């Protein structure tokens, strides 16, 4: 009798894990981009853009807390 492969993890678990990793990478990219643009708005003295981006950042962070 040949060696049997012991399957400890269901294949759909790998798909879920990949989705979670991708979601986290996208979230981190969005946060990094927002912080970068907020810094640029501050440096440029663009108060309207700063407020817009800060509001977007606050909304994003609030959504994470409420999940």
* Model confidence pLDDT, tens digit, residues 18-63: 999 999 999 999 999 999 999 999 999 999 999 999 999 999 999 8
Is residue 16 assigned to a domain? no
| pLDDT attached to residue 6 | 65
Is residue 18 assigned to a domain? no
Distance CA 30, CA 34 (A): 6
pTM, 2 dp? 0.74
* Domain range for 42: 24-65
Is residue 5 assigned to a domain? no
pLDDT, tens only, 4-17? 666 677 878 989 99
Q: How many domains does the chain have?
A: 1
Report angle CA 28, 29, 30 to the nearest 5 degrees.
90
Is residue 35 assigned to a domain? yes
Is residue 52 assigned to a domain? yes
């Amino acid at each position: 009798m040949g060696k049997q492969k012991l399957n400890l993890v269901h294949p759909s678990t790998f798909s879920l894990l990949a989705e979670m990793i991708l979601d986290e990478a996208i979230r981190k990219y969005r946060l990094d981009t927002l912080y970068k643009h907020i810094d640029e708005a501050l440096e440029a003295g663009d108060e309207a853009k700063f407020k817009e981006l800060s509001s977007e950042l606050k909304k994003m962070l609030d959504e994470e807390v409420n999940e």
